[in-house]
Amino acid sequence: MKYNDLKKIKNLYFTYQDVAKVLSIAEDSARVLSTRYVKQKYLIRLKRNFYILKERWDSITPNQRLELANILQVPSYISLMTALSFYEYTTQVQQKFIESISLYR
């Protein structure tokens, strides 16, 4: 199964170009494969042409969550509430979301 070969990608997230390189297939085939794996829930689509393995998503650390939040919306920064929660300076609990702020849409 080609899914096991995708685990060789060391980056937290990847593109279909990375899939094409690792599997030695054409980029169009890698795009189709990525779409199929998203439908089969092997991959999670973060945004257009950005994917993460489902098992990596399940074991993601708080630092990696902040990294992904910054990548999803460029340029952006995390909100004050998220920063306070990250450093445990607030009594309010955030439940599994990162608030990211951007000047652009």
Please report the pLDDT score of residue 14 as a whole number: 96
pTM over 0.75: yes
Whether residue 101 has pLDDT greater than 80: no
Q: 39-58 b/e with 16+ CB inside 10 Å = b?
A: eeebbbebeeeebbbeebbe
Regarding whether 74 and 40 lie in a shared domain, the answer is no
Q: What is the pLDDT of residues 26-39, one digit of tens each?
A: 999 999 999 999 99
Query: Domain limits at 47?
Result: 2-57
Regarding whether 66 and 52 lie in a shared domain, the answer is no
The count of structural domains within the chain is 2
Q: What is the pLDDT of residues 47-99, one digit of tens each?
A: 999 999 999 999 999 889 888 888 888 777 777 877 887 788 877 776 666 66
Regarding whether 52 and 11 lie in a shared domain, the answer is yes
Regarding whether 68 and 44 lie in a shared domain, the answer is no
CATH number at residue 51: 1.10.10
Regarding whether 49 and 7 lie in a shared domain, the answer is yes
